[in-house]
Amino acid sequence: MKLLQINASLFSGDGHSTRLAEQFVESWREKYPESEHVVRDLARDSVPHLDEQRFKALITDPAQRTPEQVAVADYSDALIEELRGADVVVLGLPMYNFGVPSTLKAYFDHVARAGVTFRYTANGPEGLLRDRKVYVLAARGGFYVGTPLDSQTGYVRDFFGFLGMRDIEFVYAEGLNIDENSRDAGLSAARERLRALVA
């Protein structure tokens, strides 16, 4: 079994979401010691944001790509193979200005490829990365679950679902920037939830 951990915090290992992801992975590996663990840290190894040239490289017929376009496509292919090879995906997800980090959006833009990770059919789009479990560990400064300001949950669920990954579990640590008591309570609730998930 292979577990892919994606850290989206700009603070890398010091982010609350990353620490929650690390706790989850530690408990997971205690239960499944034979598991392989791969880390994709988007702060330490950021994915370039999609621009016109990168987009054109990804949609150009492979036989017609320039050497520069081949390099872009190979980079995207490597990210996709890393994701395709995972049985479990653990995403450490902070909230920045009511949305996902731009580095995560860049990652999403490189792994969502028509004909590779999804395809269009007569019955609508079909995800090609099925049968993978996704755990999203979301850290927020305020309280957003169930409110119109929680733009993350629907977007992340829809994105993974579009690629075929519909078995998604969200764990929230909220109120982390309100005050010390709120932060401690939010992290404690999230950690308790994580323990229950891996028990």
Q: Does the annotation place 98 within a ligand binding site?
A: yes
Q: Does 97 carry a binding-site annotation?
A: yes
Residue 1, annotated as binding a ligand: no
Greatest alpha-carbon span in the chain: 59
CA distance 100 to 103: 8
**Is 162 one of the annotated binding-site residues?**
no
By the 8 A CB rule, do 87 and 133 touch? yes
9 labelled ligand-binding: yes
> Is 43:7 a contact under the CB 8 Å cutoff?
yes
Which residues sit in the known binding site? 9, 95-98
Which residues sit in the known binding site for FMN? 9, 95-98
